[in-house]
Every structure is written in structure tokens, then in C-alpha cells.
Amino acid sequence: MGAEAEPFPSYNNYSYGNRDGEVRVNVEVHVDGPLILGLQPAALVDHVARVDCSFLHQIPGDRGGSIPVAIEELELMVSELRTHILASHDDPFSMKTMAGGSVANTMRGLSAGFGVSSGIIGAYGDDEQGQLFVRNMSSNGVNLSRLRMKKGRTGQCVCLIDELGTRTMRPCLSNAVKVQADDLTREDFKGSRPFFLQWLSLRYAIFNLEVIREAIKIAKQEGLFLSLDLASFEMVRNFKLPLLQLLESGNIDLCFANEDEAIELLSGKQNADPEIALEFLAKHCQWAVVTLGPNGCIAKLGKEVSERLQCSRT
């Protein structure tokens, strides 16, 4: 059973303008389903806080990475956070709880920030965190008709941001409800085709590998384009072989990696750097993007490499 979402209207509005002999046509397009679908098998609630570095030294794993923790570890971190929070001018008690997960954040940003119709495929638990996830995503216009409710816990994640802005993630998904491979149907991947290109957004995770593979198979049958986010340098380091198999399958159309993930993908090879990693990704994907933090990103489409795109700080 999924959360109800208002259907998207299906009509087009056209307006014409003529100035100085130039005819301009403005088209406002409304489609029956999301242009971009995100697969996040387990709904996730984020506990986001800015913390001092001393707290990061107390928790397992590398700073800036993402490794799973047990529910007891997560609850202990949340309880201890308040003594390590870095106050900000906007919020002196700056810990926020919200719908999270990389894919959910992307779908919410596309919908609320850019007006791009988006939807999410996944499952949430019949608990308070699950209701929070549904409320937050639906209030931002994300289509939830492909989101199932299951009996059990909703996933949670502690997101720790240090003084330099580095994010350290500690998700707890071991007991969380999630969409399984055999839950997926072709209806999950139908949307605005055949009039528009439709995308499925994926995030690499070894514990979701079976459902990712099934989603790729069905999405390709439905004619969708696929994008893949490499998730974290720890995920790439620890589970590189299945990732390489996904990339080398030829099914991934667009791949995103940050600088650390890209270099980790080529670890052990001489002179590994973001540019060489971009070349490697572009051999297997039509589009490849490597982000470089405050230095922007580099991207490649076929044989064309973009200039380094700078990002301004806001």
C-alpha cells in the first residue's frame, strides 16, 4: 500500500510572442507521470547536525565516509550529539530531522527547487519516522504513488557536518523495511513516455544490489535512461567488483562520482586522478561527471570534455 499523491495534470499550454519580427513560442508542459524516478529501496529519516571534530573521533569509520551502524549505535550518537553541536547564527540548536537519503534529497530538490516532476520508488515503515518521510516528501511535490508502506521500522541516518563542511554519514538500515527485487513491477517504471525522455536515478549500495539489478532490467525494458551515483569512497573501496560489473554492463547512461570516489575506483592504478577517472567512466557511460567540491566539476559526453565548471559559494 503506497501513500496517496495527487495525479499530475495532462495538458500543454502554448503562448506566442512576436517582437521585432522574431516569433517566440513558450511551451508549458504537463505530463502524466514523473520525468525522473528515484529508486531508494528504504525510506530514510536524516538527523543532521553540525558538530566539532572531537565527536567524529569517537565514532567508528573514516571521516567523510558512510558506513552502516546498528540501531543502538545510532540512538547513542543522537543522544550524545547535543553536547557537540556547533551553534549557528540561524539556529543555535542546529540539529534537524527530515526525510533523507541521497535519492530522496535529489527528487525533493528537483521538484521543489526546479519544478521538475519527480517520483520515488521505495518503502517506508508504519512508524513515526515513516509518516515524517511521507509528509516531508509530499509537501515538496514528490510523487509518492510508487512508495509502499510496510510493517516495521523506517531507516534512519545520522549526518554529521564538521567545521569544513565535510559530511560523515552513519545510516541504520539493518532492520528497516525496504522494497525487494520481487516487489518491483513494470508499472513502477511507467510515466511520461513516449513523449519525453524519462530517467531512473540509482545510488550504489551493496545491500541493495539485488533490487538495483532488477530495477535496471525493468527500466531498460521500459526505455528509461539510467543514472548512477557512486555513493561513497568506502562503498567503492569495499565493494568495487559488483560496481565495475554494473558499469561494464553498458546499462548505465550517466554516472556521478565525487573526487574521492572516482580516485578510489582506480586505486592501485598508477597516476589515478579525477581526469583519468573521468576517462574511465566515459568508456562505459554516455555521460560522466566527477565533482570536485568547491572547485566545481568536470564532465564528459562522448569525446567532448567540458571545461572545469566552477561553483560559487552561497
CA distance 233 to 280: 16
Quick one: which of 65, 58, 55 has its CA closest to 95? Answer: 55
Largest separation between any pair of C-alpha atoms in the chain: 69
Between 148 and 33, name the one with better pLDDT: 148
Mean pLDDT of 144-173: 92
Predicted confidence at residue 312, as pLDDT, reads 54
Instruction: Read off the C-alpha cell for 33.
Output: 507521470
Quick one: which of 246, 294, 254, 249 has its CA closest to 278? Answer: 254
Give the predicted TM-score (pTM) of the model. 0.80
Predicted confidence at residue 57, as pLDDT, reads 85
Instruction: Read off the C-alpha cell for 190.
Output: 511507467
The pLDDT of residue 163 is above 90? no
Contact 4, 167 (CB under 8 A): no
Between 307 and 313, name the one with better pLDDT: 307
CA distance 187 to 119: 13
Between 308 and 235, name the one with better pLDDT: 235
What's the residue count for the chain?
Answer: 314
Quick one: which of 233, 239, 100 has its CA closest to 176? Answer: 100
Task: Strand 155-161: give its sheet, edge to edge.
Answer: 95-100, 44-50, 155-161, 167-172
**Average pLDDT, whole number, for the chain?**
84
Predicted confidence at residue 191, as pLDDT, reads 66
Predicted confidence at residue 308, as pLDDT, reads 65
Neighbours of 195 (CB within 10 A): 10
pLDDT digits (tens, 9 = 90+) for 244-267: 999 999 999 999 999 999 999 998
Element (H, E) at 74: helix 71-81
> Please, which residues have CB within 8 angstroms of residue 263's CB and are 6 or more apart in sequence?
233, 272, 273, 274, 277
pLDDT digits (tens, 9 = 90+) for 174-206: 889 999 999 999 999 986 555 566 999 999 999
DSSP state of 143: B
Mean pLDDT of 41-70: 88
Between 281 and 52, name the one with better pLDDT: 281
Contact 170, 158 (CB under 8 A): yes
Asked if the peptide bond before residue 194 counts as cis, ω within 30 degrees of 0, the response is: yes
CA distance 291 to 67: 21
pLDDT digits (tens, 9 = 90+) for 87-134: 565 554 578 899 999 999 999 999 999 999 999 999 999 999 999 999
* pLDDT above 90 as % of the chain: 59
Q: Are strands 147-150 and 118-125 parallel, antiparallel or unpaired?
A: parallel
Please report which confidence band the pLDDT of residue 19 belongs to, taking 50, 70 and 90 as the band edges.
very low
